[in-house]
């Protein structure tokens, strides 16, 4: 992961909570000037006017799956950001950008709001050629290739992470994408859908977990997909192997989905994306004003550290973005502003933090829906 070493990633340590019952607006630090820092690894050009489409004019058909998927994810970005702004009372900053290698994106981020410490929703439409090694990572299969091989591809996707201030409000992540490759080294062009939504609380609240998982179980059943398999796949994917625990408490995930007619899968992907707000926002509304102690805030920061470890070490999307020269600010948008790595951190063996650890160390044994 040499590319990661080049990034200046600053993660602040835990700070004492002066008064956990003070409204967040009063605790928020003064606004800081935005500095856009570009690296030689991933040059991008910012654009003032957001185009109607990021497809290639005269090459990509707007009525094709490429065009329809782009319109779907841009609609989801608007839907999710509007719901978050309504709860938080602040607005998202928007950056529209293009990349010399082909394509571009729209990144919306809200930092230091009233409810969310950091919330981001990014859309990208990218095309060009990618290193064969990145193709192997993307498909998750051991494909033989030469060092200089490059594979023509198209990718469109939306990704998001929401990190609330209150430790009783869960972090939430989602990612939905469509991918195509052209014929390469005798391998026919491929297409597939991928995606999922998962939740990362800091404490076990069964009612919340039943709501979140229940929403996605209903979506899966409506389209004839096996919720239990997608839930198990989610728990397996989000394993922090070196810790022996999952990043959070799951949801659904599907990879390389091309087992049906393309239209059927597109309808399923659209339905799953359309239920993000229903699955997540009511939980945040329920807990956003819950009182919390310095110990509970400290535990949240420890779990944020786990979140960061997974994203930088194991996440396929992060690795793919770095290997294909993606926009670093969008790739690392998922990281929290604050996190903590206290040495030899121990919890009360009879406390709620231990109960949480017991679950994430055996996530597949727990069914919430």
Whether the CB-CB separation of 167 and 203 falls below 8 Å is answered with yes
Please identify which residue in the block is written with the tokens 């779990």. Answer: 303
Whether the CB-CB separation of 323 and 136 falls below 8 Å is answered with no
Parallel, antiparallel, or unpaired: how do β-strands 45-46 and 103-111 relate? unpaired
What is the biggest distance separating any 2 CA atoms in the chain, rounded to whole angstroms? 64
Number of H helices, E strands in the chain: 12, 10
Whether the CB-CB separation of 60 and 66 falls below 8 Å is answered with yes
Structure tokens at 235: 């728990």
Secondary structure, 3-state, 26-77: HHCCCCCCCCCCCCCCCCCEECCCCCCCCCCCCCCCCCCHHHHHHHHHHHHH
Please name the residue ranges forming H helices in 288-345: 294-313, 316-323, 328-331
3-state SS assignment for residue 222: helix
- Element spanning 193, H or E: strand 191-200
173 is catalytic: yes
3-state SS assignment for residue 157: strand
The catalytically annotated residue of 168, 173, 213, 287 is: 173
Report the DSSP beta bridge partners of residue 353: none
Catalytic residues: 173
């Amino acid at each position: 992961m040499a590319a990661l070493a080049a990034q200046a990633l600053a993660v602040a340590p835990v700070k004492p909570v002066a008064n956990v019952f003070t409204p967040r607006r009063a605790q928020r630090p003064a606004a800081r000037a935005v500095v856009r820092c570009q690296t030689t690894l991933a040059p991008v050009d910012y654009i003032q006017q957001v185009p109607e489409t990021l497809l290639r004019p005269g090459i990509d058909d707007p009525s094709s799956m490429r065009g329809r998927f782009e319109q779907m994810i841009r609609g989801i970005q608007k839907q999710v950001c509007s719901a978050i702004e309504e709860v938080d009372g602040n607005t998202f900053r928007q950056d529209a950008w293009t990349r010399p290698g082909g394509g571009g994106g729209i990144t919306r981020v809200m930092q230091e709001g009233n409810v969310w410490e950091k919330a981001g929703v990014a859309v990208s439409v990218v095309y060009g050629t990618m290193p064969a090694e990145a193709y192997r990572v993307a498909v998750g299969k051991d494909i033989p290739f030469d060092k200089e091989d490059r594979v023509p591809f198209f990718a469109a996707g939306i990704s998001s992470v929401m990190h609330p201030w209150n430790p009783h409000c869960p972090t939430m992540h989602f990612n939905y994408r469509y991918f195509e490759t052209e014929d390469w080294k005798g391998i026919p062009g491929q297409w597939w859908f991928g995606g999922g939504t998962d939740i990362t609380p800091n404490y076990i609240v069964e009612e919340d977990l039943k709501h979140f998982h229940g929403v996605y179980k209903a979506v899966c059943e409506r389209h004839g997909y096996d919720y239990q398999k997608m839930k198990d796949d989610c728990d397996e994917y989000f394993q922090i192997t070196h810790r022996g625990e999952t990043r959070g408490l799951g949801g659904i995930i599907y990879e390389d989905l091309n087992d049906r007619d393309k239209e059927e899968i597109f309808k399923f992907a659209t339905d799953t994306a359309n239920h993000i707000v229903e699955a997540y926002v009511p939980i945040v509304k329920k807990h956003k004003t819950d009182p919390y102690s310095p110990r509970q805030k400290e535990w949240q920061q420890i779990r944020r550290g786990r979140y960061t470890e997974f994203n930088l070490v194991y996440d396929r999307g992060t690795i793919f973005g770095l290997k294909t020269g993606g926009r670093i600010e969008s790739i690392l948008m998922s990281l929290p502003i604050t996190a903590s790595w206290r040495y030899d951190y121990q919890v009360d063996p009879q406390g709620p933090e231990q109960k949480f650890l017991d679950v994430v160390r055996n996530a597949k044994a727990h069914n919430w829906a």
